[in-house]
Amino acid sequence: MQSGPRIITVANQKGGVGKTTTAINLATALAAIGEQVLIVDLDPQGNASTGLGINRRERDISSYDLLTNSATVEQAAKRTVVPGLSIVPSTLDLLGVEMEIGMAPDRALRLRQAFASPSAARAGFTYVLVDCPPSLNLLTLNSMAAAHSVLVPLQCEFFALEGLSQLLETVEQVKRSINPRLTIQGIVLTMYDGRNNLANQVVEDVRAHMGEKVYETIIPRNVRVSEAPSHGKPAILYDLKCSGSQAYLQLASEVIRQERRLRAA
Ligand code: ADP
Ligand code: MG
């Protein structure tokens, strides 16, 4: 039996591929089945924080404080509109973190240390999803050092696979150096538009290259999903019935099945 939360980082160095949307909606679906879920917003843009209705004034304690050892997980976690879902918000201070801790020997281990502390255990989270910035920088490295696994959203567009090998190589490097337990949780195809022949080709290509790592669920492009963040809500709360929300619920059930298999093994 694993102690402490299962930590999954949602990473892809490309922007606009659905990392934040996936983190928010997967987290919401897990919370809905009774898990105690925490999102750590590691993107200075703070889209996960905004998308969960945390306004700037409420971000006095943030992920920056976790990385600079000035707050604990318990202190930094804020409740959201979703029951069972909390978030450590981000602020623009994160932009300076590389300069501030970049010379410290433990610079890539700060997030892991934050979750290894007794106060993190007290907070009682069963899942932590980390929302990464669109870069393979020190922030993303911190997430990979802390995580059990990496969840990779890939947008169904022509250059989907481009950059994936670099991402997978980074995962391998982290495994070899600072985090041997790290695995690929899975690859999820996002923003699929069935009317677009190219999208179908991309799905085939990604499945051919990555095989079993690719989730069966494909997240469709759906306007309700893109509207939800401006209401400060996950799509699953904003419009449960829309095709995007339904797909995220289905993705969550795949993840849960995976987790059950892992625990049984
Ligand atoms: P990332 O975090 O990788 O930069 P986001 O999750 O922020 O990507 O998504 C980029 C943009 O696309 C956002 O405006 C988001 O609302 C929108 N978006 C994400 N997924 C979908 C979807 N399935 N359908 C429609 N719009 C989406
Ligand atoms: Mg994002």
The pLDDT assigned to 109 comes to: 98
Instruction: For a ligand 1 pocket test, name from 26, 52, 226, 246 the mutation site with the most ligand atoms within 8 angstroms of its C-beta.
Output: 226
Smallest CA separation from ligand 1 atom 22, residue: 221
CA of 222 to the centre of ligand 1 (A): 10
Helix axes 243-264, 19-32, angle to 10 degrees: 70
Q: Which domains does the chain have, with CATH numbers?
A: 6-264 (3.40.50.300)
Q: Mean pLDDT for each 10-residue chunk of the chain (265 residues)?
A: 84 97 98 97 98 94 97 97 97 94 96 93 94 97 98 92 92 98 98 92 93 97 98 98 98 96 89
CA of 223 to the centre of ligand 1 (A): 10
Residues with C-beta less than 6 Å from any ligand 1 atom? 15-21, 47, 134, 190-191, 219, 221-222, 225-226, 229, 244
**pTM > 0.95: yes or no:** yes
The pLDDT assigned to 159 comes to: 84
Smallest CA separation from ligand 1 atom 1, residue: 16
- Ligand 1 atom closest to 221 (CA): 24
The pLDDT assigned to 1 comes to: 42
How would you classify residue 133: left for phi > 0, otherwise alpha for psi between -120 and 50, otherwise beta? beta
Ligand that lies nearest to the alpha carbon of residue 243, given by its number in the listed order: 1
The pLDDT assigned to 161 comes to: 85
Smallest CA separation from ligand 1 atom 11, residue: 16
- Ligand 1 atom closest to 226 (CA): 16
What is the torsional sign of CA 28, 89, 122, 4?
Answer: positive
CA of 84 to the centre of ligand 1 (A): 23
Q: SS3 for 193-257, per residue?
A: CCCCHHHHHHHHHHHHHHHHHEEEEEEECCHHHHHHHHHCCCHHHHCCCCHHHHHHHHHHHHHHH
Which ipTM score applies to this complex? 0.99
